[in-house]
Amino acid sequence: MLCSMMRQADMTQLDQDLQDVNASLVRMLSQVREACELARRALIDGDLASAERCVENDERIDSMQASLELRILTVIARRQPAAGDLRFLGAAYQSLADIERAGDYAEHVARAAVTLSEQPPLKKYLDMARILEVLGGMIDTTMKSVAEADVDAARRAHAMDREIDDLYEQIQRELLTYMIEDPETIGRATQLLAVARYLERLGDHLENVDEHVMFWLTGERPA
């Protein structure tokens, strides 16, 4: 894992701080994973209780972000880490805003699901269900990359966003066709376009996290 974490004997306070930050970052990602699952249940299964839980979950993510930001800055100020350890802390700090925004977009999907449930569905949500499935795998792989300092996992997760972008474009074309052929569908189609956009942006923020991880582990930003 982190270069200083490799020293199992005689662990320093910096070593412990780095491990704690790493574990907290993984926990925050796991909360976003839970938010995506709750959003999926709300949208695909019509489970409005899950929508409510997703909103509550977002408050925990926000709290974790604030706490971890302070923790990272405190570690940098007190321990004065260098080289790979400092790069890890910088990458973790930069990742926090992206992880928090990913959680926000999951909440937006859950809230939209409540509104959509009040009307007959315009279409089956197979493509959106697929995006949510990809997002779940993307978060799982990102968590692995952080927990195990696995740059290949970060690259795999980063590449998953391509399918999300393709599905988003497919959804846009389909919904525009609905609106052109039947103006009465415009309201529902517009809401679904917003949901698709939330999911696409969620993937973008996870992609950013993977780029931060790659920078931590290689010292280089992906092209």
Give the global pTM: 0.92
Residue 1 pLDDT > 70: no
Residue 9 pLDDT > 60: no
Estimate the share of the chain in helix, then strand, then coil, as percent rounded to the nearest 5: 85, 0, 15
In the predicted model, what is the mean pLDDT of residues 64-81? 95
Could you tell me the domains of the chain? Answer: 14-218 (1.20.58.220)
State percent of the chain over pLDDT 90: 89
In a 3-state reduction of DSSP, which class is residue 17?
A: helix
Question: 92-96, long-range: CB within 8 Å, 24+ apart, which pairs?
Answer: 92/21, 92/22, 92/25, 92/68, 92/212, 92/216, 93/69, 94/212, 95/25, 95/208, 95/209, 95/212, 95/213, 96/25, 96/28, 96/65, 96/68, 96/69, 96/72
State pLDDT tens for residues 115-126.
999 988 898 899
